[in-house]
Amino acid sequence: MSYSHQVEPTPRFATTDQIQVVKRQSEGHCRTPSYIRGKIGIVERYCGNFKNPEQLAVAHPTPVIIPLYRCRFLQTEIWPNYLGAETDTLEIEIYEHWVDPV
């Protein structure tokens, strides 16, 4: 997917779509924590389109606009030794360029 700094993108994902967070290294500012990379969850909701924070952090003159989602993950899928209830979840906002469909 390519994004533009001038055109508002159409979100690729809808509520309840299953997604997997991309598992890659990053340098500098990144809003996608390493502990969630590679994990599978669902889209809880679309939050809107925003300028890419990774580009904003380095003062890029024309940051691209990217959809942002609130995503839900089971705690037992994130932490191998999680001792809480099997239904416990974690919700986190993730930009579209960090998620793939499952």
Quote the mean pLDDT of the chain.
Answer: 93
What residue ranges do the domains of the chain occupy? 18-101
Higher pLDDT, 3 or 56: 56
> What digits encode the pLDDT tens for the residues 45-76?
999 999 999 999 889 999 999 999 999 999 99
> What digits encode the pLDDT tens for the residues 6-24?
888 999 999 999 999 999 8
Q: Does the predicted TM-score (pTM) go above 0.85?
A: yes
26 falls in which pLDDT band (50, 70, 90)?
Answer: confident
Instruction: Report pLDDT for 3.
Output: 82
> What are the DSSP calls for the chain, one per residue?
----SSSPPPPS--TT-EEEE------S--SS-GGGTT-EEEEEEEEEEEE-HHHHTTT-SSPPEEEEEEEEEEHHHH-TT--S-TT-EEEEEEEGGGEEE-
Topology annotation, domain 18-101: SH3 type barrels. (2.30.30)
Q: Is the pLDDT of residue 4 over 90?
A: no
